[in-house]
Structures are given as C-alpha cells and as structure tokens.
Structure 1
C-alpha cells in the first residue's frame, strides 16, 4: 500500500499554515498516512487546544471512509442512510468539514485534517493543504 512520505506531509502542512495565515485563523493541522496513523502535526500559535484531537480525527475519518468529511454531513443526519455514524469507532468519526483525502495516481495515500476555525475556514485550509500535495 502506497502511503504519504514525511516530506509530502510537511509540504501539506506548510501550505495549510500559509492559507491559515492568509485568512488570519490559526489552526491545528494533522496529516495521516494511508493506514490512518499520524504522520505529521502542527499546532499554530493561538489555535484551540480542544481542536488538536478534532484535527487528527478529521484526517483519520477522511482516510477511514475515503472521502472528505464534509461529504459525510448530509448522509449522517436524522433519517438518512448512515445516521449515527459519528457514534462509532469510539466517537472518533467526524461528520463535518475539514478532513480531505490526499490522492496520488488515483489512490488515497493519506489525509489532512484541520480544526480551530469555522467549518468553512477549516475546509478552506484543508483544501489548500491537499492542493499542495497534488503539485
């Protein structure tokens, strides 16, 4: 199984940090490998301590379900097909935006998770990190 390198993970974090600085919102940024294991992490000054675990779990959720965490939100609402998904895996599943898979040659090789801002800010910063991976 191909996985993300530490060099690639650091590039993802650097791009995410740059976007977080541009929008003036410090973030907790996590990158996991293809197995969902933490590969790299950065906690920007003034980011929320409570968001450390959330950022890691967003990245883990993204790799575990091979999708953006934002894509899970509509599917997990009351009455929908996977309602309650967020209560599985010891509560580790995050069902709102900020987790993005990292794809190489059509294969998911890792994921980035971002937390501290609004969901839209988290998504913007995570997408910037993911975009840097594709370069």
Structure 2
C-alpha cells in the first residue's frame, strides 16, 4: 500500500492552511510514497530555492527509516558517523532534522511520509502532522 495522489494533495493543502493560520514563513512541502518517490510537492510564493531539497530529504529519511525526522535527529546525536554515512550513501537525499513525519493507515502500515521546510523544525513538523490528520491517517 501507498499514499494516493489525492491524499498527498490534501495533506499539502491542509499543511499550508495550518502554516498560514500560524503565521509561518513561506513553506515547501513534499509528500513521498512508501518507496521514497515524490508523490506531490508545493512551494509557497516567497519560499527559497532550498525548500524542495530540504523538505524532500527530511521526508525521505523519515520514510526510509520508518520514524519521524525528529526521532532520527535524536538518534543521530548518539551515532553521528552512521548518519553522515547515510546522507552520503543516499546522495544527499537523507536529512535527519525535525520537520517530517511518516504517514500510516489505521492498521499501522507505512504509506509514505511528508516533510516541510520553511520554518523551525517544530513548525515544519506541526504542519506536516496537521496535513496527515486532515486525511484521517496517522503521523506516527
């Protein structure tokens, strides 16, 4: 199973709505399927050119390891060489920094992930969680 295009687009729409509600900076949001392939992406007007790469890398690491990027960042503190190796092995597609969550169905099956870039890691994570919640899926 994987996330549908319709679900991915709704996640992005809800995440951007939450970002605007909170008054956050312009965001980039990437939704990946369970294989780490890009399903959908949006970049708000005014978002910097790095938003895509950072949002996707957060989401890619999250779906690859099956946990939020917050958890990956915590794990990286205890084993930094391993996480640097993961980033190098994935040709830069792996970023262990808060701002991405996994997307799971009611049975706990991994469907994909969503990552955001534009605010603090906490802000990015909050809007990703809002997006996932909006489609009745879970972010962890």
Q: Note whether the superposition's TM-score is higher than 0.5.
A: yes
Q: Secondary structure of the residue that 1:73 maps to in structure 2?
A: helix
Counterpart Cα distance in 2 of 1:97 and 1:28 = 14
Contact between 2:28 and 2:55, CA under 8 Å: does it hold in 1? Answer: yes
User: 1:129: how far off?
Assistant: 1.2
Distance 1:40-1:90 versus aligned 2 partners, 3 A rule: same
The runs of at least 4 aligned residues of structure 1 exceeding 3 Å deviation read 78-83, 85-88
Aligned equivalent of 1:90? 91
Structure 2 unaligned residues grouped into runs of 5+: none
Distance 1:74 1:125 in 2: 20
Aligned to 2:66: 66
Alignment partner, residue 46 of structure 1: 46
Paired residues for 1:1-135 under 5 Å = 2-25=1-24, 26-77=26-77, 82-84=82-84, 85-104=86-105, 105-134=107-136
Shift of 1:79: 5.1
Post-superposition Cα deviations, 1:67-93, rounded to whole Å, max 9, x if no partner, equal 100101121125568453444312221
- Point out where structure 1 has 5 or more consecutive residues left out of the alignment: none
Aligned residues: 134
Aligned partners of 2:60 and 2:69: how far apart in 1? 10
